[in-house]
Amino acid sequence: MLRSLLIGLVAGQRAMTPLVLLSGAAQRGTLPRGGPAVELLAHPLVAWGTAALAAGEMAGDKMRSAPDRTVPAGLIARSLTAAFAGAMLAPRGRQGEGAILAVATAIGASYLGLALRRRAMARYGQSSSGFVEDAIVLASGAAVVGLTSAGRRG
Name every residue whose Cβ is closer than 8 Å to that of residue 144 and which is 6 or more positions away in sequence. 3, 6, 7, 10, 21, 89
Segment 26-43, tens digit of pLDDT: 988 888 666 568 888 989
Q: What is the pLDDT of residue 153?
A: 38
CA dist 91 and 108 (Å) reads 23
Q: What is the pLDDT of residue 18?
A: 95
The model carries a pTM of: 0.87
Q: What is the pLDDT of residue 36?
A: 62
Q: What is the pLDDT of residue 51?
A: 94
Segment 12-29, tens digit of pLDDT: 999 999 999 999 999 888
Q: What is the pLDDT of residue 37?
A: 85
- Which residue positions in the chain have pLDDT lower than 70? 32-36, 147-154
Local structure of 28: helix, strand or coil = helix
Contact between 34 and 88 (Cβ < 8 Å): no
> How many C-beta neighbours within 10 Å does residue 2 have?
12
